[in-house]
Amino acid sequence: MPKTALIIVDVQNDFMEGGNLAVGDSRSIIDPINALRENGRYALIVLTQDWHPADHSSFASNNEGAEVMSTITSPTGLPGVAWPDHCVQGSEGAEFYADLKTKNTDVVVRKGTDTAVDSYSGFMDNDKQTKTDLEKILRANGITHVHIVGLAADYCVGFTALDAVDAGFNATLFTDCTRPVGADSWGEMQAKLAEKGVTLTESV
């Protein structure tokens, strides 16, 4: 019998309208995500949380002369984006958005804690060297299928879905429950998701 988990990716203040790294139209995903979690069909609900140290290497402010959203090289040699400071550990921007319904039974998985490497996926850092506890948690709960929602579609949500398939889970991404940073990058991510076998559909 399949057991399904809902993975809510990075629905944090800094990614909402008015935040340091705001994703356009992000408030529109809150009601459908809340509706999903209230239907009672999920064996487990996981919240991922970007949780960066203030000196994180992906921040433009920590790369002398780098413009926000330009391409930079991380200390590990990977190309990356020079992001505005966001989701700094302990900051208001790192807190979950107040209108997102949460419960004390939700499992929180923090990512992006290593200063030297960014972490888009909820499963592991971008260098593929260090995993979070997400896969272990899903396995411990007998999960076979994951439904993935949150922010942003072309980065953290998409990469979480790709890694879910690589880890052996059946993955579905609900397109009405996510929004992208950019149209071009979302188009590229959709192609990767389709090639990997991720199901893209609406939640209703």
- Given the residues 87, 111, 125, 163, select the one marked as catalytic: 111
Using omega within 30 degrees of 0 as the cis cutoff, is the peptide bond preceding 140 cis?
no
Ramachandran bin of 172, using left for φ above 0, alpha for ψ from -120 to 50, beta for the remaining angles: beta
Q: Find the radius of gyration of the CA atoms of the chain.
A: 16
Single-letter amino acid, residue 6: L
Q: Say if residues 112 and 126 touch (Cβ distance below 8 Å).
A: no
Residue 186 identity: W
The three-state secondary structure class of 187 is helix
Task: Identify whether 156 is a catalytic site residue.
Answer: yes
Q: Catalytic: 10?
A: yes
Does residue 111 carry a catalytic annotation?
yes
Catalytic residue among 118, 156, 163, 177: 156
Residues 6+ apart with CB under 8 A from 65: none
Strands (E), 98-198: 107-111, 145-151, 170-179
CA–CA separation, 172 vs 14, rounded Å? 25
By annotation, the residues acting in catalysis are: 10, 111, 156
